[in-house]
Amino acid sequence: MIAKIKRGFWIFMGTIWITFLATIMASEKGTGGIGINGFITLIVWIAFMYLMIKVSIVLSNVAFTILVLVLSFTTGSITEKQIQGLVYIGLFCVGLYLVYLYSNYRDKINKKVAEQHKAGITCCPKCASTRIHYVQKREVTDEINYKYDEDGDIVGAIPSTHTEGGYYECDKCGKIFK
């Protein structure tokens, strides 16, 4: 359910971006647009929306942005102020995309960890690696157990120890967990 809501949010953000760029495409040259025919712009907008929904949100947005920038520079209809605005909006979109990537990465890791736990396999909660080892904590007490021979002479001394829990350590990322 959460994954569908996230995907819907990213499609909504992508739709806003593509619509914004389509507006630049269809606007007259004198008003800061490229001056492409409105019907052609609508067809391109529909094609990129389809690409966004069926293939990849990021691929669609990046490809459409490149298309608009190439058309803007080749027609000479983009101003310095518009470039500055596009840079700010582009940086904002890159930031959102990085959040999107991290969110998807964490979702995949969490899903893999849940599958591993369901199967009874212990794995790292940070990277889902099964390359882990268990480290036992040992505490040495002051008590010493003496070994005696048949004559009653001391032949050895062994300090008594007891194990007090332990922890797992991931060999891949180094995370320590219980």
pLDDT of 138: 65
Q: What is the pTM of this model?
A: 0.50
176-177, strands of its sheet edge to edge: 132-148, 154-170, 176-177
d(CA 61, CA 27): 19
Reply yes or no on whether the pLDDT at 156 is more than 80.
no
User: What are the CA-CA distances from residue 85 to residues 6, 20, 78, 93, 176 (Å)?
Assistant: 27, 12, 11, 12, 45
Which residue type sits at 3?
A: A
Beta carbons within 10 angstroms of residue 75's beta carbon: 13
- Contact in structure between 113 and 123 (CB atoms under 8 Å): yes
pLDDT tens for 24-73 read 777 777 666 777 777 888 888 888 888 888 888 778 888 888 888 777 77
Domain locations along the chain: 2-118, 132-177
Q: What is the pLDDT of residue 171?
A: 87
